[in-house]
Each structure stands twice: as structure tokens, then as C-alpha cells.
Amino acid sequence: MNRRRRVYEGKAKVLYEGPEPGTLIQHFKDDTTAFDNTKHELIDGKGVLNNRISEYIFTRLNDIGVPTHFIRSLNMREQLVREVEIIPIEVVVRNVAAGSIAKRLGIEEGTPLPRSIIEFYYKADELHDPMVSEEHITAFGWATPQEIDDIMALALRINDFLTGLFLGVGIRLVDFKVEFGRLYEGDMMRIVLADEISPDSCRLWDIATQDKLDKDRFRRDLGGLVEAYQEVARRLGILFENDPKKRSGPTLVKS
Ligand code: TMP
Ligand code: ASP
């Protein structure tokens, strides 16, 4: 049987060994967690939606020249990606105050920020992913100053692109989290976007209704998470697998 080697298991994804050296299979689970795993639920269909949305966003980013680990989609829950050395930093870009910045700095949620703000968090669950500065990142050798420059430039390009993409479908991109990795090609190394971009890792607000279309539905017990993620996919024009109408076979054309 198909016994693939599990390389890494995270809270919402599993990485398996890929078919060729230097590749991995990224599998999206239905597990939904918040607050350092203290809140955990299986939400049927979430993984399929995140796989589809992330695939779409990574493909569009590749198209505009943002290097990513994404190679191609394999099935409803899995994608083939390049193996990279993950930089242990969560990069958060914020356009509007919400979540931790609203709390930490006492800014009312929904207040537009004077400009886009980039924050870094050290990936360490046992420490609750503490916020760190560039000084910490370079002093502890998590990334070099040049790598931080590349990461910030990429993060801002991703923010500009995603802001426009979502604005076009009536959604405000409040903030998001991305991760980067080092891709080694021969004796060359470059920084590429890794992990995922999905409603699990973004705050997405419906511009017309202010409804939350992201993981805050789960964090704040609002319900309707799958419906919200489906709405994001539907607006992006990529809701196929989950659309029962499209599953019922070919549409017959009357003569
Ligand atoms: P925060 O307001 O809780 O700091 O979150 C900022 C953004 O980063 C938000 O879109 C959610 C996302 N995020 C993650 O994807 N993973 C995390 O572990 C955290 C804390 C935030
Ligand atoms: N703290 C993260 C979040 O709320 C995820 C987690 O801790 O599992 O997005």
C-alpha cells in the first residue's frame, strides 16, 4: 500500500516525502486550532478549501514573479511543493488593526493603520510564538540582514497583490501571516514563499457587510467557518470541488 514517509506534522498540515528528491507533498487537514492548540476541532471540508485557495493564490503569485515553493496541485487535499529550509519566523503584514495589535496597542479593531506594518514572530509553540525584532533575528542567526530585506520586500509585494485581488471581489485584506524558506539550487540559494495562504492565515472582511470570512469565525465562536471559506473561494471563482451543482455531471445542452 501507499506508505509515504511523513516528514513533518503540523497543526493543520502534514508534509510527506515527495516523488522526487527535493520535493514534498503538502497535505491539508481538517484540524482547526487556535490559541496554541488549546482550542482544537475537526471542521469537515476545511482542508479541501484551504488547499484550493492556497493553490490559487500561490499560482497567481508565481505568475507575477514572486518565487514560491508551490509546484502543482495533486488532489483535493494535497499539493506538490519544493523542499525548502523553513526560516523559523512568522511574518505578519497588517493593513487594518485587528487581533493582537489591536489588543497590545489599544487600537480599536477596524482602524486603518497609517501604513502597512510588518511584524516578526519566532516560531516556537512552547514559547507561544513571541514577537521578535530584526535585531533578535540576526543576532540569533535565524536569518541574515540580506534575507530579512528579501523577506520584507516579498511580503510587501504579496500584500499589494493580495490587497488588490481581494478588493476586486469585495473583501478587505486586514492582515495575514506568511512563512519563507531557503531553496537551494546547486550552489545558489534564494528565499521563496512557503507554507500556505488561506483564510486560516489571513483576516478577510466582507466590505459590504463587515462579516468575517476567516479563522476568526472559529477563534471567536462565530460558527459558519466552512461557509465563509466557501464564500471566499466562490468569489475568487475557484469553488469547483465543493459545489454540488458541479458534481452532478456534465450539464446537458438542450437542442
Ligand atoms: P494576530 O492578530 O493574532 O497576531 O494575527 C495576525 C495574522 O496572522 C492573522 O491574519 C492570523 C495570522 N496568524 C496565523 O496565521 N498564525 C498564528 O499563529 C497567528 C498568531 C496569527
Ligand atoms: N495561534 C494560532 C491562531 O490562532 C494557531 C494555533 O495556535 O493553533 O491562528
Please choose, from the candidates 68, 25, 33, 44, the residue with its C-alpha nearest in 3D space to the C-alpha of residue 200: 33
Q: Which ligand is nearest to the CA of 125?
A: 2
Cβ atoms 109, 101 nearer than 8 A: no
Please choose, from the candidates 85, 88, 80, the residue with its C-alpha nearest in 3D space to the C-alpha of residue 19: 80
**Is the beta carbon of 62 within 6 A of some atom in ligand 1?**
no
Provide mean pLDDT across the span 17-36. Answer: 97
Extents of the domains making up the chain: 6-84+225-246, 85-206
Q: Which helix (H) or strand (E) holds 172?
A: strand 171-185
Rounded to two decimals, the pTM is 0.94
Q: In ligand 2, which atom is closest to the CA atom of 129?
A: 1
Q: In ligand 1, which atom is closest to the CA atom of 98?
A: 2
Cβ atoms 117, 96 nearer than 8 A: no
Pocket lining for ligand 2, CB < 6 angstroms: 11, 33-37, 215, 219
pLDDT at 17 over 80: yes
Q: List pLDDT tens digits, range 39-62.
A: 999 999 999 999 999 999 999 999
The CATH H-level superfamily of 85-206 is ATP-grasp fold, B domain (3.30.470.20)
Please choose, from the candidates 21, 17, 37, 34, the residue with its C-alpha nearest in 3D space to the C-alpha of residue 78: 17
Choose which residue among 177, 202, 213, 225 to substitute to test ligand 1 binding: the one with the highest number of ligand atoms within 8 A of its C-beta: 177
CA 37 to centroid of ligand 2, rounded, Å? 7
pLDDT at 2 over 80: no
Cβ atoms 12, 200 nearer than 8 A: yes
Q: Report the SS3 class of residue 126.
A: helix
* Percent of the chain residues topping a pLDDT of 70: 93
Q: Which fold has domain 6-84+225-246?
A: Phosphorylase Kinase; domain 1 (3.30.200)
Cβ atoms 157, 66 nearer than 8 A: yes
Mean pLDDT rounded to a whole number for the chain: 95
DSSP state, 198?
S
Which pLDDT score is estimated for 3? 78
Neighbours of 112 (CB within 10 A): 10
Q: Which ligand is nearest to the CA of 212?
A: 1
Where are the extended beta strands (E) located within 1-144?
6-9, 13-17, 23-28, 31-34, 39-42, 70-75, 78-82, 85-86, 89-96, 112-122, 131-132
